[in-house]
């Protein structure tokens, strides 16, 4: 890295620049874009600064940073060929420069943190509205009806703000995958989805003056789920509604098959003890038709596993919802189901169906979150 020798001089001089890197009056979200990685590459197109996080110690600055590998060490971080005794590195772009992590473009600033297990955590700090630019393209197709994109923008903004307020004491607010909201950075922005974000700027869903946990999912297959079943959240706008609008959607039905051994391995990896499974069966169902629990008989006896945990253990892209039946065959266990996702809140394919019927984004949100209000936050 050019000018890297300046780092040692700066460190020796002990020059500390204590300040807030976030502009006032803006809401920022912390997105974990990479977790548990042995190495990442960093580049910056345009002017930048590098600082040690938590101390604001200026390490380096320049007009452009060519790609450098970042690796964790016992003592700190290795940047290129140089070792530094720092817990984490903050990359701050200047004059709208772009940060590249493993070749992917990001707005905002980026922290590269060495964790206790000697793995890297990469967190993108980004202004909330800009974050949404990189979310919508992944959550709904950008060619869907414009009102659906606006409904998704409000739901995604609300969920993000809910997480920001709930995760103040954690290392990040959301992840960049399906377990939070899929976020692809600057390279995932499209003009139509960005337009939808701008058109609804600051609009969120509230219930009795509080930010609503505005969960959403791909397809409910006829009835959305009660949030209390999955997330332990008992709120009227999230009790579930009968949804006729996703009927006939692509990939409504699905199948997956596993052996008893595969099921046991995945359950154990998830943290649910299971060994020598001999039988598996459906448990009780709730008002939406989804399973509440799965009955398993193994060498230790019979046990009941919450259906949503069972789904996550086997893989949410394999067991796409908890609305399934089980068939035991010689070749293995076949799961036949319908719908995709946890089922709570807005059904995205249902919103698409409403959008095709020319429903406004406000009507879509009112249908899936009954009793919630659309309000504007600064």
Each domain of the chain, given as residue ranges in start order, spans 5-128, 130-227+348-376, 253-338
The closest of 137, 129, 112, 109 to 21, measured between CA atoms, is: 109
Instruction: Give the C-alpha separation, 192 to 172, whole Å.
Output: 28
List own/partner pairs for 352-356 with CB under 8 A and 24 or more apart: 352/140, 352/144, 352/145, 352/148, 352/245, 352/246, 352/249, 353/244, 353/245, 353/246, 353/247, 353/249, 354/148, 354/245, 355/144, 355/145, 355/146, 355/147, 355/148, 355/151, 356/145
Instruction: Give the C-alpha separation, 344 to 321, whole Å.
Output: 11
The closest of 231, 233, 202, 249 to 351, measured between CA atoms, is: 249
Burial 248-259 (b: 16+ CB within 10 A, else e): ebeebebebebe
Structure tokens at 186: 């600057």
Evaluate the CA torsion angle 336, 341, 345, 348 in order and state its sign.
negative
CB-CB contact of 109 with 46 (8 Å): no
Q: What's the pTM value of the predicted model, to 2 decimals?
A: 0.87
pLDDT tens string, the chain, 378 residues long: the values are 434 333 333 333 333 333 445 554 579 999 999 999 999 999 999 999 999 988 878 888 999 999 999 999 998 999 888 888 898 999 999 988 999 999 999 999 999 999 999 999 999 999 999 999 999 999 999 999 999 999 999 999 999 999 999 998 898 999 999 889 999 999 999 999 999 999 999 999 999 999 999 999 999 999 999 999 999 999 999 999 999 999 888 789 999 999 999 999 999 999 999 989 999 999 999 999 999 999 999 999 999 999 999 999 999 999 999 999 999 998 889 999 999 999 999 999 999 999 999 999 999 999 999 999 999 987
The residue length of the chain stands at: 378
The closest of 251, 240, 266, 267 to 320, measured between CA atoms, is: 251
Helix (H) or strand (E) holding 194: helix 191-199
């Amino acid at each position: 890295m050019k000018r890297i020798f300046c780092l040692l001089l700066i460190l020796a001089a002990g020059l500390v620049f204590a300040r807030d890197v976030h502009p006032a009056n803006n809401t920022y979200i912390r997105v974990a874009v990479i977790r548990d990685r042995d190495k990442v590459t960093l580049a910056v197109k345009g002017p930048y600064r590098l600082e040690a996080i938590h101390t604001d110690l200026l390490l380096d600055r320049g007009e452009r940073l060519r790609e450098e590998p970042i690796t964790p060490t016992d003592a700190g971080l290795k940047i290129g060929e140089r070792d530094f005794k720092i817990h984490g590195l903050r990359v701050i772009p200047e004059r709208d420069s772009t940060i590249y992590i493993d070749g992917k473009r990001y707005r905002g600033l980026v922290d590269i943190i060495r964790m206790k297990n000697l793995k890297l955590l990469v967190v993108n700090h980004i202004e909330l509205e800009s974050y949404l630019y990189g979310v919508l393209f992944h959550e709904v197709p950008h060619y869907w009806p414009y009102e659906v994109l606006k409904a998704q923008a409000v739901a995604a903004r609300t969920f993000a703000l809910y997480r920001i307020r709930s995760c103040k004491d954690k290392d990040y607010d959301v992840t960049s995958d399906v377990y939070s909201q899929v976020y692809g950075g600057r390279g995932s922005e499209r003009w139509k989805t960005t337009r939808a974000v701008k058109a609804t700027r600051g609009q969120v869903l509230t219930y009795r003056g509080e930010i609503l946990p505005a969960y959403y999912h791909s397809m409910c297959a006829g009835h959305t789920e009660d949030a209390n079943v999955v997330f332990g959240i008992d709120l009227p706008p999230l009790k579930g509604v009968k949804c006729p609008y996703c009927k006939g959607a692509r990939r409504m039905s699905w199948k997956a098959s596993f052996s008893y051994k595969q099921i046991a391995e995945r359950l154990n990896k998830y943290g649910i003890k299971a060994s020598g499974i001999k039988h598996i069966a459906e448990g009780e169902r709730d008002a939406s038709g989804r399973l509440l629990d799965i009955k398993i008989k193994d060498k230790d006896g019979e046990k009941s596993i919450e259906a949503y945990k069972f789904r996550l253990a086997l893989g949410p892209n394999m067991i796409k919802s908890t609305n399934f039946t089980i068939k035991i065959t010689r070749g293995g266990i076949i799961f036949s189901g319908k719908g995709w996702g946890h089922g709570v809140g807005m059904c995205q394919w249902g919103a698409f169906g409403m959008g095709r019927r020319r429903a406004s984004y406000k009507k879509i949100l009112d249908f899936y979150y009954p009793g919630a209000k659309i309000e504007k936050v600064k």
